[in-house]
Structure 1
Amino acid sequence: MLRVLLITDTDKPIGDLRQALARLGYEMLAEVATPTALPRVVEEHRPDVVIIDTESPSRDTLEHLAVMNETAPRPVLMFSNDDDHQFIRDAVNAGVTAYLVEGLEPARLAPILEVALARFAHEEKLRNKLAQVESELADRKVIDRAKRLLMDRRKMSEQDAYATLRKRAMDQGMKVSEVARQLISMNDLLR
Structure 2
Amino acid sequence: MKTVLICDDEPLIRMSLKAMLMDLGFEDVLECGDGKSAVEMAMASFPDMAVLDVAMPIMDGITAAKEIKKKLKIPIMLLTNCYDAQTAKRAAESGIAAFLTKPLREQDLIPAIEIALAHTEQVEDLKEKIEDLKETIENRKVIEKAKGTLMEKQRLSEADAYRAMQKLAMDKRKSLRQVADGILKGC
**What secondary structure does 1:51 align onto?**
strand
Secondary structure of 1:174's match? coil
TM-score normalized by structure 2? Answer: 0.81
Asked whether the 8 Å contact 2:5–2:38 carries over to 1, the reply is no
Q: Which residue does 1:108 correspond to in 2?
A: 108
Q: Are 1:12 and 2:10 matched, yes or no? A: yes
Q: Which amino acid aligns with 2:87?
A: F
Q: Distance in 1 between matches of 2:163 and 2:22?
A: 61
Q: Name the CA shift for 1:172/1:156 in 2 (closer, same or farther; >3 Å).
A: same
For structure 2, which runs of at least 5 residues remain unmatched after alignment?
Answer: none
Distance 1:51 1:151 in 2: 59
% same residue = 28
Query: Cα RMSD over matched residues?
Result: 2.7
Q: 1:127 aligned to 2:127?
A: yes
1:54 matched residue in structure 2: 54
Q: Deviations over 1:55-76 (max 9, x none)?
A: 28x9875455345334321111
Q: How big is each residue's C-alpha offset from its partner over 1:124-169, in whole Å with a ceiling of 9 and x where there is no partner?
A: 2222222211111111111112112222222222222222222222
State the number of aligned residues. Answer: 184
Residues 36 and 59 in structure 2, CA contact (< 8 A), matched pair in contact too: no
Q: State TM-score, norm by structure 1.
A: 0.80
8 A Cα contact 1:75 1:120, kept in partner: yes
Q: CA deviation at 1:114?
A: 0.9
Distance 1:146 1:82, change over 3 A: farther
Letter in 2 for 1:52: L
Decide whether aligned partners of structure 1 residues 30 and 55 sit closer, same or farther in structure 2, where only a CA change above 3 A counts: closer
Report deviation, 1:90. Answer: 2.7
Post-superposition, which runs of at least 4 consecutive aligned residues in structure 1 deviate over 6 A? none
CA distance in 2, matches of 1:86, 1:145: 49
Instruction: Give the whole-Å Cα distance in 2 for the aligned partners of 1:173 and 1:37.
Output: 52
Corresponding position of 1:91 = 91
- The residue type paired with residue 124 of structure 1 is E
User: What secondary structure is seen at the aligned counterpart in 2 of 1:20?
Assistant: helix
Segments of 5+ residues of structure 1 without an aligned counterpart are none
Residues 153, 121 of structure 1: alpha-carbon distance in 2 compared, 3 angstrom cutoff: same
State the alpha-carbon separation in 1 of the partners of residues 74 and 36 from structure 2: 16
Change beyond 3 A, Cα 1:144–1:18: same
Q: Deviations over 1:6-48 (max 9, x none)?
A: 234xx32222212221222212344537433555543432211
Q: Is 1:79–1:99's contact at 8 Å kept on the other side of the alignment?
A: yes
Contact 1:151–1:157 (CA<8 Å) still a contact in 2?
yes
Q: Matches of 1:64 and 1:26 in 2, distance apart? A: 22
Is the contact between residue 168 and residue 179 of structure 1 (CA under 8 Å) also seen in structure 2? Answer: yes
Q: 1:54 to 1:67 in 2, by over 3 A?
A: closer
